[in-house]
Amino acid sequence: MRAYQISKSGGEPALVDIAVPAPAAGEVLIRIAACGLNFADLLIAKGKYQDMPPFPATLGLELAGTVAALGEGVTGLAAGDRVAVYAGHGGLAEWGCFPAARCLPVPDAMTMTEAAGFQIAYGTSHLALDHAARLKPGETLLVTGAAGGVGLTAVELGRLMGARVIACARGAQKLEAARAAGAHEVIDSDHPDLRGALKAMGGAEVVYDTIGGPLFRPCLSACRPGGRYLLIGFAGGEVQQIPANHLLVKNISVIGLYWGGYLAFDPATLTGSLAQLMDWHAAGKLRPHVSHVMPLADVAEAMEILRARRSTGKIVITM
């Protein structure tokens, strides 16, 4: 089988031929249909992610496929079941063995392409907005990187949860994608006076920041007194320093959100969040946006599209 692997920290990922694995106790063997790409894949490839897998590592945090075989002790699943898995690694391959406990049934109404990129993007946004920030109907939500795989779901969910949504992204095409996802107002991240423009829009009770770096200061200034600032990622390439005196004066809370971390310390909250999201999808309230569907042979090109932030919504690799 083919797999997109990195052999050592700092090495270059490459497609390699390896043996199809056999499931250990508590695992299932999955014939992988599709794998969603995430910014974390770029960090793992550089050896800079906070949760690095052992080497050699097959990239790909989340996937969807069909159960092919069961390891010892596995119950509740059967060969042929359609499942989605948040694995942390191993998704960019034709086959893989994953813990049965991580398998989420894929409903008939959801395609494998949608399922492969659903959990992290929607899960991150829902946990952040609902559980961490306690977003309320009528509040204003500011989303940076609003046309990216995660940012677009924050726009969509913010609108669904009754917030007024301001989407911040770069360029007319991305701003239009954010507006189509439900944003009430949009603003270009290259605005010459972003701080002033955001304040003129009235600021926000909740900021959902996937970019960080140069956008952090103007977005923090736009956070209203008593606001909540969600740190989701640093796609801008810079981990910013936080001026604690601003937090004190304006009574602002800064909240970090690492979705995968909930599996270790609060899995019930994560599971409940995913159940709510699946219900909303089944009711037609969510419309997953996949801008690029590419074959495994083109995964290096897909990673470059992700790195250059040339996509709107998710990039999904099919096997």
Rounded average pLDDT over 69-92:
96
For the cut 90, the answer to whether the pLDDT of residue 305 exceeds it is yes
pLDDT tens-digit series, residues 153-167: 999 999 999 999 999
Per-residue pLDDT for 27 more than 90?
Answer: yes
For the segment 249-260, what is each residue's pLDDT rounded down to a tens digit?
999 999 999 998
Partners of 167 in the β-ladder? 143, 186
Predicted local confidence at residue 202, as pLDDT = 96
Please give the share of the chain, as a percent, with pLDDT higher than 90.
Answer: 84
Q: Cβ of 277: how many Cβ atoms within 10 Å?
A: 21
Q: Which domains does the chain have, with CATH numbers?
A: 2-118+288-318 (3.90.180.10), 122-259 (3.90.180.10)
pLDDT tens for 101-117 read 999 999 998 999 999 99
Q: Is a pLDDT exceeding 90 seen at residue 308?
A: no
| E strands in the chain | 2-6, 14-17, 27-36, 57-58, 62-70, 82-86, 95-99, 103-105, 140-144, 164-169, 185-188, 204-209, 223-231, 253-256, 290-295, 314-318
Confidence of residue 144 (pLDDT cuts 50, 70, 90): very high
- Spatial contact of 45 and 4, defined as CB atoms under 8 Å apart: no
pLDDT at 203: 96
CB 274 within 8 A of CB 123: yes
Phi/psi of residue 104, each to 5°?
Answer: -115, 125
The 10 Å Cβ neighbour count of residue 264 is: 10
Three-class SS state of 223: strand
pLDDT in tens, 183-235: 999 999 999 999 999 999 999 999 999 999 889 999 999 999 999 999 998 88
Return the pLDDT at 182.
Answer: 96
Question: What's the average model confidence in pLDDT over 37-64?
Answer: 89
Query: What percentage of the chain has pLDDT greater than the value 70?
Result: 100
pTM of the complete model: 0.91
- pLDDT value of residue 50: 75
pLDDT digits (tens, 9 = 90+) for 84-94: 999 999 999 99
Rg (CA), the chain: 20
Q: Which residues sit opposite 66 in a β-bridge?
A: 31, 82
Phi, psi torsion values for 311, nearest 5 degrees: -105, 160
68 phi, psi to nearest 5 deg: -110, -30
Confidence at residue 6, expressed as pLDDT on a 0 to 100 scale: 92
Confidence (pLDDT) at 168: 97
9: pLDDT strictly greater than 80:
no
